[in-house]
Amino acid sequence: MTLLNHYFSVFLQGFGYTLLASLIALVGSLILGTLFAIMQVTTSKVARTIGNIYVQVFRNIPLLIITLFFYLAVAKVIKMTGFTAGTIALMLYTSAFIAESVRAGILSIDPGQMEGARANGLTFWQAMRVIVLPQAFRVAIPSLGNQFINLVKNSSILAFVGGLDLMYQGNLVAASSFDTFTTYIIIAIFYLVITLPLSYYVQYLETQLKKKA
């Protein structure tokens, strides 16, 4: 308890950076992921191939490699902090998983919806935006929720590049207080404050969706 009191502001700062990185990466990966999901369902072979390659590459390599690439290689050309490099890597990595969720959502929507919208004079993008995507997102919400939980957990990767997040601050506190055990337990509780309610909410949404089906 004294440890928590003594280092509370440090933990809180880490918690703030973890939240910030997660939110930025969430918004970015939702936009990117949706874009790549749409690319994968278009009729253009080029767009489909690019979308596929992007998703397969980012899904199959460790987040740490992407993070190190931005922190060590890209940061040499474009100056950026560990926090920025980590958040960009987190965003790109998560966007591949979000693309898969959204694509599954789009494919679950009756193709008649798109055909009907097109027949009524909407362009592909209008039909996508107004008719297909809103329905697809409703289906994809539980799996998107799980991706967000993973995103928050994965944000601990920032600790590798001095990203000031919860894990990073935890390691500092552990090193200076010598009470590694208590420090990590406190860090765990801070993470659970974000992820546990989200996970129960996602489970609730899943049962709701099953009831409707």
Interface with another protein (CB under 8 A)? 56-57, 59-65, 68-69, 72-73, 149, 153-157, 159-160, 167, 170-171, 174, 179-181, 183-184, 187-188, 191-192, 195-196, 199-200
Instruction: Find the shortest distance in angstroms from Cβ 179 to another protein.
Output: 8
Identify which of residues 32 and 202 has a Cβ nearer to another protein in the complex.
202
Identify which of residues 27 and 196 has a Cβ nearer to another protein in the complex.
196
Instruction: Find the shortest distance in angstroms from Cβ 185 to another protein.
Output: 8
- Positive or negative, the CA dihedral 179, 185, 189, 191 is positive
- How far is residue 60's CA from residue 55's CA, in Å, rounded to a whole number? 9
Helix (H), strand (E) at residue 129: none
In the three-class reduction of DSSP (H, G, I as helix; E, B as strand; rest coil), residue 122 is classed as: coil
Identify which of residues 31 and 61 has a Cβ nearer to another protein in the complex.
61
Instruction: Find the shortest distance in angstroms from Cβ 172 to another protein.
Output: 12
Instruction: Find the shortest distance in angstroms from Cβ 114 to another protein.
Output: 26
Instruction: Find the shortest distance in angstroms from Cβ 5 to another protein.
Output: 20
Instruction: Find the shortest distance in angstroms from Cβ 166 to another protein.
Output: 9
Q: What DSSP string describes 90-150? A: HHHHHHHHHHHHHHHHHHHS-HHHHHHHHHTT--HHHIIIIIIHHHHHHHHHHHHHHHHHH
Identify which of residues 113 and 162 has a Cβ nearer to another protein in the complex.
162
- How far is residue 108's CA from residue 56's CA, in Å, rounded to a whole number? 21
- How far is residue 67's CA from residue 75's CA, in Å, rounded to a whole number? 11
Identify which of residues 139 and 148 has a Cβ nearer to another protein in the complex.
148
Nearest Cα to Cα of residue 89 among 23, 155, 166: 155
Identify which of residues 118 and 153 has a Cβ nearer to another protein in the complex.
153
- How far is residue 126's CA from residue 132's CA, in Å, rounded to a whole number? 9
Give the CA diameter of the chain. 68
